[in-house]
């Protein structure tokens, strides 16, 4: 930064403003069905292609393998297998709390039983020496379900 830029910045007036912005949008018919089953029945649904049988989570309208419109549904377990993982040391503002997320925290690509795709989600485990590909995990749900993805707090390691 040059001397002129430093002097110009020193003369700036800074105003902090807290804003509460609410967003609402339609998730379409597939996400509506997905979150309705999630909230009302605590079921995880994936969309299933009638052409190739691939099950997508989150649900999709068109199959990326055979390009057919997907019109079937499959119930998916809240248990799954870790396909990739990492430990994150950089905090971010957690939208659920509005506060920086405690570090370190584990993240993983998890293939839930019954799905052919993975979801990226938080792990309870954050010790790299205890993490492995193939590790079995299960969702830990909040007590009060609101009908959104944050109803799952994290995935806990399980032994089967």
Q: What is the pLDDT along the chain (160 residues), one digit of tens a residue?
A: 666 566 666 767 778 888 887 877 777 888 889 989 989 988 999 999 999 999 999 999 999 999 999 999 999 999 999 999 999 999 888 877 788 888 999 999 999 999 999 999 999 999 999 999 999 999 999 999 888 888 999 999 998 7
The answer to whether 76 touches 116, Cβ cutoff 8 Å, is: no
- pLDDT in the model for residue 2: 66
Q: How many whole angstroms separate alpha carbon 79 and alpha carbon 111?
A: 9
Q: How many domains does the chain have?
A: 2
Element of type H or E holding 39 = helix 28-41
What is the extent of the structural domain holding 30?
26-76
The answer to whether position 109 is within a domain reads yes
Distance of CA 38 to the CA centre of its chain: 14
Q: How many whole angstroms separate alpha carbon 35 and alpha carbon 146?
A: 9
Q: Which two tokens stand for residue 131?
A: 């993490």
pTM above 0.75, yes or no: yes
Same domain membership, residue 40 and residue 103: no
The answer to whether position 11 is within a domain reads no
The answer to whether position 107 is within a domain reads yes
């Amino acid at each position: 930064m040059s001397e002129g830029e430093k002097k110009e910045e020193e003369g700036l007036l800074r105003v902090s403003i807290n804003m509460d912005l609410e967003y609402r949008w339609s998730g379409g018919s597939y996400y509506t069905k997905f979150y309705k089953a999630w909230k009302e029945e605590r079921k995880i649904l994936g969309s299933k292609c009638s052409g190739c049988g691939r099950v997508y989570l989150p649900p999709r309208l068109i199959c990326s393998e055979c390009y057919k419109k997907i019109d079937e549904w499959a119930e998916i377990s809240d248990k799954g297998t870790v396909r990739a993982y990492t430990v994150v040391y950089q905090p971010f503002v957690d939208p659920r709390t509005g506060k920086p997320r405690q570090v370190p925290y584990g993240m993983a690509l998890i293939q839930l039983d019954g799905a052919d795709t993975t979801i990226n989600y938080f792990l309870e485990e954050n010790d790299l020496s205890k993490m492995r590909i193939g590790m079995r995990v299960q969702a830990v749900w909040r007590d009060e379900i609101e009908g959104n993805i944050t109803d799952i707090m994290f995935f806990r390691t399980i032994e089967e």
